[in-house]
């Protein structure tokens, strides 16, 4: 009885701590756009500018602020820039029963594009957002005029395994995953945060305003952690089949990678994609994985150059 009572007290304390932390994070990282229902998802959508449409898709554990940090504003004088929180991430709401695989996310974004009447758009995707952008181009080609891929995930690594920091979520039981998200995940994430950020940003420094301006605090919210876990576990479901279809692409495809990326290998994701798509090009720069935050002007210029190619 004493042991059970102790477990209950510790669990309640962890849940209370998680709730307070999540409330604080949500108060500091509020929704920037408007909510739009499309494809079964309630999307948080931020729109700027006029002209040819450009859709910005963030990566795993991220949200739209990784692009509104600076890239979106630099593009807005030239394009109709649509920045989104992916299904389940940030302030977007994904139904519990909806698949998290890249095809399901691409289909929902295609539905959103149709609802906003965007027509063929330049799609810029970062990291996992790159895999979703590629899937959108292959499975919904009417929505895409060109691809600007920033450190994209394009191929499943050999001997793929869920990274250690997400191992706690490698559980198929929904209730148990939810229990962990509301107890140990948030304090665990806070303890590991310096190491995780060093891995994601290195060798470049983490901007001091990333937690709020870049939306970093959102990663401490249970719903966000659960969504990231589901996204990660779903990668093997569709990525191998999708990578076998890259040769079908007949649109401009350009890839930007940091040579020192500690998350994704540029040869296995950048060069491997270019080898399959004849018209694709790869540009390498000195930098890590979080280029949309660490090298804002470079990424904006890169996306604009892709849009210029598409326009001609």
pLDDT digits (tens, 9 = 90+) for 92-138: 999 888 988 999 999 999 999 999 999 899 999 999 999 999 999 99
- Residue count of the chain, please give it: 312
Q: Using one digit for the tens of pLDDT, what is the confidence trace for 154-197?
A: 999 776 666 555 565 566 677 777 777 777 777 777 777 888 88
User: Domain range spanning residue 205?
Assistant: 2-311
In the β-sheet with 41-48, what is the strand arrangement from edge to edge? Answer: 34-38, 41-48, 80-84, 53-57, 121-126, 144-150, 253-258, 281-285
The Cα 173–Cα 171 span in angstroms is 6
Sequence-separated (6 or more) residues with CB below 8 Å from residue 237: 99, 101
Can you say how many angstroms the Cα of residue 9 is from the centroid of all Cα atoms in its chain?
36
* Residue 301: φ, ψ to 5°: -65, -40
- Percent of residues, the chain, with pLDDT higher than 90: 60
Q: Using one digit for the tens of pLDDT, what is the confidence trace for 193-214?
A: 888 888 889 999 999 999 888 8
Q: Token digits for 145?
A: 């005029």
pLDDT at site 163: 59
Is the pTM value of this prediction over 0.85? yes
CATH label of the domain that carries residue 85: 3.40.50.1820
- Count other C-beta atoms under 10 Å from residue 210's C-beta: 21
How many domains in the chain?
Answer: 1
């Amino acid at each position: 009885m004493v042991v059970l009572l102790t477990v209950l007290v510790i669990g309640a304390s962890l849940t209370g701590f998680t709730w307070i932390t999540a409330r604080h994070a949500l108060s500091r990282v509020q929704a920037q756009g408007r909510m739009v229902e499309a494809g079964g998802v309630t999307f948080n959508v931020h729109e700027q500018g006029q002209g040819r449409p450009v859709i910005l898709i963030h990566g795993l554990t991220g949200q739209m602020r990784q692009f509104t940090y600076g890239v979106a504003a630099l593009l807005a004088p030239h394009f109709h820039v649509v920045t989104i929180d992916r299904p389940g991430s940030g302030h977007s709401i994904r139904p519990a029963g909806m698949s998290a695989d890249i095809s399901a996310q691409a289909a929902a974004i295609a539905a959103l594009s149709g609802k906003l009447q965007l027509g063929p758009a330049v799609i810029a995707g970062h990291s996992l957002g790159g895999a979703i952008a590629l899937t959108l181009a292959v499975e919904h080609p009417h929505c895409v005029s060109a691809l600007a891929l920033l450190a994209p995930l394009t191929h499943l690594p050999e001997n793929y395994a869920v990274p250690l920091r997400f191992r706690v979520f490698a559980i198929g039981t929904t209730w148990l995953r939810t229990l962990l998200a509301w107890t140990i995940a948030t304090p665990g994430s806070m303890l590991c945060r310096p190491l995780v950020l060093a891995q994601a940003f290195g060798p470049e420094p983490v901007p001091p305003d990333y937690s709020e301006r870049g939306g970093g605090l959102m990663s401490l919210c249970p719903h966000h952690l659960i969504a990231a876990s589901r996204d990660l576990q779903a990668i093997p479901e569709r990525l191998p089949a999708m990578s076998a279809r890259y040769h079908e692409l007949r649109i401009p495809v350009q890839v930007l990678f940091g040579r020192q990326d500690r998350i994704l290998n540029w040869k296995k994701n950048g060069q491997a994609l270019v080898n399959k798509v004849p018209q694709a090009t790869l540009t390498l720069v000195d930098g890590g994985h979080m280029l949309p935050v660490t090298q804002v002007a470079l990424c904006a210029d890169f996306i604009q150059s892709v849009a210029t190619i598409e326009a001609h």
